[in-house]
Amino acid sequence: MSSFMKSLALGMWLLAHGLAFSQVGAGLWLSGVASQIDGDSWGGYEKVGFGVGGFAWYNFSEKVGLQTEISFGHRGSREVVEGFGQYALNFIDVPVLLRYRFWQAGNLGVSLETGPGVSFLLSARNGFKPNQVDNTEFFSRYNAEAHLGLSGNFGSAFTIFMRWSMGLNNLWAFTPRPWMTIHYFSLGVRVGFIHPD
């Protein structure tokens, strides 16, 4: 079994294992993403993508909780002035977020969410269809990330969130190695199907 499959299996086990605790919730989420790659000389959050996946959380107290996610994400970088091309990258993402609820009024609450994550590159393509070229071999397969965001919950089942995420290592795998890191903004919704009463 490859290291990627072992890591994915471990993440899924942690997600499922948490459901044994009464203070755990779980569900699905969907987001829109605007991303760019620093170092490709294009700049601007012009690449539109998406993220979709599952999440689980554990409450340590009424204010503090831990949230993990496993998701598929599509992002990259897009040059719009000359129409030269774009990087289209697909990832499996596994962030681990500390959640602090700093405002609560009845069933409404606002939380700060921050923490590290790791992403596993599935594919990398360059250019516009139908002339895209597979460049996966030139990119690092494993990438560390940092996440910072806010979420607003409406009861235990529905949450709107926004998040800024930053790559921490070089996406480019071979020499010569320009420093290329990915940054992206996410705006989405989470729907909890399993949550404490």
pLDDT digits (tens, 9 = 90+) for 140-194: 999 999 999 999 999 878 999 999 999 999 998 877 667 888 899 999 999 988 7
Find, among 115, 125, 123, 126, the residue nearest to 141 by Cα. 123
CB atoms closer than 10 angstroms to residue 31: 21
The values of phi and psi at residue 16, to 5°, are: -75, -40
Indicate whether 81 pLDDT > 90.
no
Average pLDDT over residues 49-55: 95
Task: Give residues with Cβ within 8 angstroms of 107, minimum separation 6.
Answer: 153, 154, 155
What is the CATH architecture assignment of 3-20+29-194? Beta Barrel (2.40)
- Output the pTM of the full model: 0.84
Delimit the domains of the chain by residue range: 3-20+29-194
pLDDT tens digits for 92-149?
Answer: 999 999 999 999 998 899 999 999 999 999 999 987 777 788 989 989 999 999 999 9
pLDDT, position 130: 74
User: CB-side exposure of 21: number of CA atoms within 13 Å?
Assistant: 15
Lowest average pLDDT, out of 39-48, 65-74, 123-132, 149-158, goes to 39-48
